[in-house]
Structure 1
Amino acid sequence: MQFGLYPIPESNIAGVVNLSEYMQVNCLGYYEFEKTSYTRYRDHGRTDYLLIYHIEGTAQARSKGIDYDLASGTAVLYRPGEEQRYSLSDETPVKSLWIHFTGYGIESLLEKLQLADRNIFFAAPSDDLLPLFHMARNEIAAQRSGYEVYIASLLLQILTVISRNYLQSRFTSRQLETQTNFDLAITYIHSNYDKPITIPEIAHIAGLSISRYIQVFKQQIGTTPKDYIVKYRLNKAKELLFETNLTIRQISVIVGFSDQLYFSRMYRKVEGICPKEDRKRRGMFKGVT
């Protein structure tokens, strides 16, 4: 049997609450049992949050009075004051990781990640999570300058990966195909921003009608495909503007604007300043037009 505990600050069986920080990791650890039965039960939970990531083996977790069998890759999230029951079977080797945390921003973060409506999140195992846990454990052990902030950032990444895996696992095969095609359409924009791109063209790559593609694009990206393409081209233009001595006209053509005046107009609209003035303001390549 192996059991690890890495507390920040000192371990407290009731939990640690800190509402002056957006997110704070209190402690983390792991279970690794060969064939030993183990149950962790708290009828009123703790005062902080608990995240368990079940890696392998036979285990159960309780949610709202019901015990659920956990598949590999399942995450369990308990809020302050909630009944906690996590049971490991002695039938098979079991591995799991856990983190206790607190902070005033947790609930709003869980809402954004769509993790606020349940305790148990069934998803496939992820190769992205274990390295993040290990990095957090090593930071606690080393306690280098700023390690508390760094560990909090790792927890944010862990929750984000769990959210993505959970939401993806809820897709039907058709939805997965649509999402894959949508991602291909985004990749196409990134690879061909310097060429003429039409909305019907990328909608076809995504396997959607034009109207549906625009709707899905706005839902996932937060803007229209046209505005996204323009913004992406302008970001590429800024890189050339400040890192090369190319002329404004040359840059406009390279990033996909055939009309220099239209390029300058869109640059001013988005950045609030024309490209020539922006370059001079930054003091780079003066005299180049």
Structure 2
Amino acid sequence: MNSQSFYRLQDAHDCDIRITDRELVVNCTGVIAIDHPFTTWRPCGRQDYYLMYMIEGELDLPLLQQVIRPGQLILFAPGAETKYVKSDNQDMAYYWMHISGRGVAALLEACSLETGRVYDAGVSQAVLDDFHHLFDNFLYRDAYLEPAAAALAGQILVKLRRGINRRQLTKHELSPERISRSLALIHQQYSRSISVRELADLEHLSVSRYAALFRACMGLSPQAYIIRMRLDMAMELLQRTDLSVKQIAQTVGYADQLYFSRLFRSRFGVPPSRFPE
């Protein structure tokens, strides 16, 4: 990949312009692809908004004490000091655009995008395609450049926001909080028979989806988790009480003492009658 830059005003190389008479204008856009160290520092920032969307490598953001990595983005506000540093010789690439206009602040608010904050949207081919469509419009430079570029810029921001939401949802789904009601039921009633269907219904999920989500969150299937919990409780009872093995087996949910003993030995290496030795 090669670096490319496109400017709305062909005679203005930087095109650092604040627009107030139109809703949204793309001043310039492009892609940076570099494999050597560099530092960009603008103490007074720019007059427009600056979007940076990483797709390869990483950049240090010393003013934020953060690193921006592939799939992440940041928006710099007009007038904000901007500094980013590449300190290695690895391949690095990011797409960028500068936008201005009286409607930009409202658009960013509608997309829940704050300036000066790193977001994780993931690397999206759909977003990259929109950037290349944006580049094409700057190449064609027909009478509809400005409205077409504005529409694509808005579309890019919306797709990035949706990507952020999907990433946040994925992280939430893989958190035990997503299965908190069924986990609470297991911990409260582990000694009775609990079906995966009952647990899935609590979380309003299909059995297959719940089982996959439970394993992703807890590292075990629901039934294996229940067995482990029963056996761990049995171990505690053997250590802390003078209950018989039969009584403990029944307490944790096993009517068959022999079956309980086999499970216990499989987990702890010794039968319950010899634990602790």
TM-score for the superposition, normalised by structure 1: 0.57
2:111 to 98, 110, 113: 113
Letter in 1 for 2:24: M
1:167 to 162, 165, 170: 165
Match of 2:23 in 1: 22
**Partner deviation per Cα, 1:78-113 (whole Å, 9 max, x = no partner):** 010001112224331111111011000111111111
Report matched runs for 1:39-188 at 5 Å.
39-62=39-62, 65-116=63-114, 118-171=116-169, 173=171, 175=173
C-alpha distance 105-176 of structure 1, shift in aligned 2 (>3 A): farther
Larger Rg, first or second structure (1 or 2): 2
TM-score for the superposition, normalised by structure 2: 0.59
Report matched runs for 1:225-236 at 5 Å.
none
Deviation at 1:174, TM superposition (A): 5.0
Q: Is 1:11–1:26's contact at 8 Å kept on the other side of the alignment?
A: no
Deviation at 1:176, TM superposition (A): 7.7
Deviation at 1:150, TM superposition (A): 0.3
C-alpha distance 92-147 of structure 1, shift in aligned 2 (>3 A): same
Match of 2:5 in 1: 5
Q: Is 2:73–2:118's contact at 8 Å kept on the other side of the alignment?
A: yes
Q: Is 1:56–1:94's contact at 8 Å kept on the other side of the alignment?
A: yes
Report matched runs for 1:161-240 at 5 Å.
161-171=159-169, 173=171, 175=173, 207=204
Letter in 2 for 1:72: P
**Partner deviation per Cα, 1:99-135 (whole Å, 9 max, x = no partner):** 0110001111111111026432123211111111111
Aligned residues: 180
Give the 3-state SS of the residue equivalent to 2:125 in structure 1: coil
Q: Is 1:11–1:27's contact at 8 Å kept on the other side of the alignment?
A: no
Q: How high is the sequence identity, in percent, across the aligned residues? A: 26
Q: Is 1:18–1:102's contact at 8 Å kept on the other side of the alignment?
A: yes
Segments of 5+ residues of structure 2 without an aligned counterpart are 176-200, 206-277
Match of 1:250 in 2: none
C-alpha separation between the residues in 1 aligned to 2:149 and 2:115? 25
Q: Is 1:50–1:79's contact at 8 Å kept on the other side of the alignment?
A: yes
Deviation at 1:69, TM superposition (A): 1.1
C-alpha distance 98-11 of structure 1, shift in aligned 2 (>3 A): farther
C-alpha distance 174-159 of structure 1, shift in aligned 2 (>3 A): closer
Deviation at 1:136, TM superposition (A): 0.6
Q: Is 2:52–2:97's contact at 8 Å kept on the other side of the alignment?
A: yes
Aligned-residue RMSD, C-alpha: 2.6
C-alpha separation between the residues in 1 aligned to 2:28 and 2:119? 21
Letter in 2 for 1:129: V
Q: Is 2:15–2:28's contact at 8 Å kept on the other side of the alignment?
A: no
Deviation at 1:173, TM superposition (A): 4.6
Segments of 5+ residues of structure 1 without an aligned counterpart are 178-203, 209-289
C-alpha distance 136-87 of structure 1, shift in aligned 2 (>3 A): same
Deviation at 1:12, TM superposition (A): 5.6
Give the 3-state SS of the residue equivalent to 2:106 in structure 1: helix
C-alpha distance 173-32 of structure 1, shift in aligned 2 (>3 A): closer
